[in-house]
Amino acid sequence: MTPFEVTILGCGSAKPTLRHHTTSQIICLKGIPYMIDCGEGTQVQLIRYKIHTGKLDHVFISHSHGDHCLGLVGLLSSLALDNRCNDLHLHVPSDLEQMLQAQIDFFVQHRNFDIHIHPIDCMQPTVVFKDNNVKVTAFPLEHRVPCYGFLFQELTGDRHIKPECIRQYGIPYDTIPSIQHEQDFTTANGQVIPNSELTTPPDPTRSYAYLSDTLVVPQYAELLQNVDLLYHDATYCADDEELAYKYYHATSKQAAEFAKACNARKLLLGHFSSRYKDENWLLEHATNVFPDTLLAEEGLTVAIGG
Amino acid sequence: MTPFEVTILGCGSAKPTLRHHTTSQIICLKGIPYMIDCGEGTQVQLIRYKIHTGKLDHVFISHSHGDHCLGLVGLLSSLALDNRCNDLHLHVPSDLEQMLQAQIDFFVQHRNFDIHIHPIDCMQPTVVFKDNNVKVTAFPLEHRVPCYGFLFQELTGDRHIKPECIRQYGIPYDTIPSIQHEQDFTTANGQVIPNSELTTPPDPTRSYAYLSDTLVVPQYAELLQNVDLLYHDATYCADDEELAYKYYHATSKQAAEFAKACNARKLLLGHFSSRYKDENWLLEHATNVFPDTLLAEEGLTVAIGG
């Protein structure tokens, strides 16, 4: 299967520390990177983990709090210095649009590429982006400002042609793509071979969900049913549930309960409060409920499904 | 003598690297920190080098390029989370004022301290700040946008009272401050002891000059005559003088020639281009002209005079 993975650039919360950067991560599918959130210092994290930005054309921002977007202007400035030419698309909550545009106009005047801001403003799960590989659905979370989760769903790939059929029926090379796209094949003597005989089904599709910052949102268990990898806000440990509620965040235990309700394959905890010296306590609370749980950390790459 | 020193938080140029952060530094005099410039990631550098922000009340920004100011909003946000209460004063070129205010209004709404922006807009060297310890003079540099250098001059301290005079003339404890401030002393039997007999002169004052980003500015050699420590833009090596001229920066050799013209005590080179893998070549070009030269690096603390 083609690689589909997430690399954590930052999984701290509002205040960066020496252990955790503010939030950013790279989703990579078939060699194409997509960024979610871009906290301060993200551009250096990209260098540190050797992630090239040449093919990075889409950035998704969950909400307008600084720890999720203050690295954008610096990143854009450095892309301009790198003489980037291809367009960049920023998918951001609509309340951030005007400020972001003003910052770009002020700080990133000199550049050879266009920046397109696509405002997100929806009350229900809504597809905000689709290319040949992936469909991205935004859905409103429950935080102190408008905030969106993102569901990345791999699109169904081509059917696999059986190598032995190519020889058996003398299928020309340039006909293979149409057969991969479900066409039947007509042999030189007029015999129609049905596609089902020539191919096997495409790889199963995989999915990734990002939910931060938010209270736990059980209403999305159906939308995220069977998700391969769930990244969830785990700012607090279960003992600090009142704080989580007060600040519109989740505990690691709540994240695990939600992962269970989603029948997720794997849970990745992140957005850790700077109050904890290490997060193993948070992990323990989660694995008691949902065993297949990991702690995010800077530089960690996790395969999505597969 | 009381400590007077500068700590480098970042000495890279426009693009941060794994070796150099964008520009920021802390001047510390008598335990009071003052910040010059605040590039992206400065708040983490403050944590890394254990610099407390409780007494940081004044930040001076040289110009509106992102690598000198994009860390401000994140720093202010974290100060707000730390429940800072005392006012913060930002001394910034006037062209940055409106954008900075807009960013603060958007990203740092919830805070318990006031932020005062003091626009700098002068054609000649102008005192922009003075407290009990130091006087700060801003002077326009030659860069692509309005940009200011800063001269930090320690104010003359108190005269030193001779311990033996306290005993000899029975000087009461609460009279000592007035004698330190040049008053004569009248003994119990009416004898007037002139101040010059009771005290020795105050410590010599020290000074620090910050010039970045800029072409070399020989017109300020007189203003900066005998400066104790000169921090100067050395973005390029002498071989790249044309690039330096094109982008309104200086070479390390030009910085050294200027330090010589200023009769500076020590030269500190910084704002290194990301094109150089190490800066020893820049240092060599400088020391050929001005031997007492240092390369800035993150975490380095240099005494000013003394």
DSSP B63: B
Hey, CA dihedral for B246, B249, B253, B255, is it positive or negative? positive
Q: Are residues B134 and B211 in the same domain?
A: yes
Q: Are residues A62 and A125 in the same domain?
A: yes
pLDDT of residue B2: 82
A242: pLDDT strictly greater than 80:
yes
Q: How many residues does chain B have?
A: 306
Single-letter amino acid, residue A136: V
The single residue of A37, A57, A67, A158 carrying the catalytic annotation is A67
Question: How many other β-carbons are positioned within 10 Å of the β-carbon of residue B190?
Answer: 6
**Mean pLDDT of all residues in chain A?**
97
CA dihedral B138, B143, B146, B148 (to 10 degrees): -10
Pull the structure tokens for residue B190: 């009416």
Question: How many other β-carbons are positioned within 10 Å of the β-carbon of residue B95?
Answer: 16
Give the Cα separation of B139 and B150 in Å (integer).
6
User: Which of B40, B50, B100 is the best substitution to test chain A (most A C-beta atoms within 10 A)?
Assistant: B40
Q: Are residues A183 and A222 in the same domain?
A: no
B63, closest residue in chain A (CA to CA): A107
Q: Angle of helix A94-107 relative to helix A72-81, nearest 10 degrees? A: 40
pLDDT of residue B56: 98
Give the Cα separation of B151 and B140 in Å (integer).
11
Pull the structure tokens for residue B300: 């380095």
- In angstroms, how far is the first alpha carbon of chain B from the final one? 7
Q: Are residues A107 and A226 in the same domain?
A: yes
**% residues pLDDT > 70 (chain A):** 100
Please count the structural domains in chain B: 2
pLDDT of residue A1: 75
Concerning whether A67 is annotated as a catalytic residue, the answer is: yes
Chain B: give the shortest CA distance to residue A44, in Å.
6
The CATH number assigned to the domain holding B112 equals: 3.60.15.10
- Kindly report whether the global pTM for this prediction surpasses the value 0.90: yes
pLDDT tens-digit map of A178-215: 999 999 999 989 999 999 999 999 999 999 999 999 99
Q: Please enumerate in sequence order all residues whose Cβ is within 8 A of that of A168, keeping only pairs 6 or more positions apart, or say none.
A: none
Contact between A137 and A128 (Cβ < 8 Å): yes
Q: Are residues A219 and A188 in the same domain?
A: no
Q: Are residues B104 and B189 in the same domain?
A: no
A49, closest residue in chain B (CA to CA): B18
Give the Cα separation of A27 and A165 in Å (integer).
36
Q: Are residues A180 and A33 in the same domain?
A: no
**% residues pLDDT > 70 (chain B):** 100
Pull the structure tokens for residue A171: 């299928």
Among the candidates A146, A178, A200, a domain finishes at A200
The answer to whether the CB atoms of B14 and A81 lie below 8 A apart is: yes
Pull the structure tokens for residue A45: 């994290």
Single-letter amino acid, residue B109: Q
Q: Are residues B127 and B176 in the same domain?
A: no
ipTM of this predicted structure: 0.93
The single residue of B37, B57, B67, B82 carrying the catalytic annotation is B67
Q: Are residues A118 and A237 in the same domain?
A: yes
Q: Are residues B15 and B77 in the same domain?
A: yes
Q: Are residues B181 and B214 in the same domain?
A: no
- The residue with tokens 């083609």 is A2
pLDDT tens-digit map of B240-262: 999 999 999 999 999 999 999 99
Furthest CA-CA distance within chain A: 75
Give the Cα separation of B124 and B57 in Å (integer).
25
B169 is in which domain, residue-wise?
160-200
Hey, CA dihedral for B47, B51, B56, B61, is it positive or negative? negative
Digitized pLDDT (tens) for each residue of chain B, 306 residues in all: 789 999 999 999 999 999 999 999 999 999 999 999 999 999 999 999 999 999 999 999 999 999 999 999 999 999 999 999 999 999 999 999 999 999 999 999 999 999 999 999 999 999 999 999 999 999 999 999 999 999 999 999 999 999 999 999 999 999 999 999 999 999 989 999 999 999 999 999 999 999 999 999 999 999 999 999 999 999 999 999 999 999 999 999 999 999 999 999 999 999 999 999 999 999 999 999 999 999 999 999 999 996
The answer to whether the CB atoms of B107 and A66 lie below 8 A apart is: yes
**% residues pLDDT > 90 (chain A):** 98
Question: Measured between CB atoms, which of B16, B66, B107 is closest to A44?
Answer: B16
Cα A208-A64-A253 angle, rounded to 5 deg: 50
Section A11-39 average pLDDT? 97
Section A149-177 average pLDDT? 94
Q: Are residues A77 and A196 in the same domain?
A: no
The answer to whether the CB atoms of A44 and B41 lie below 8 A apart is: yes
Sort A172 into a burial class: Cβ within 10 Å, 0-12 / 13-18 / 19+: exposed
DSSP B52: -
Give the Cα separation of A203 and A180 in Å (integer).
12
How many Cβ contacts (< 8 angstroms) between chains A and B? Answer: 84
pLDDT band at A136 (very low <50, low <70, confident <90, very high): very high
Q: Please enumerate in sequence order all residues whose Cβ is within 8 A of that of B168, keeping only pairs 6 or more positions apart, or say none.
A: none
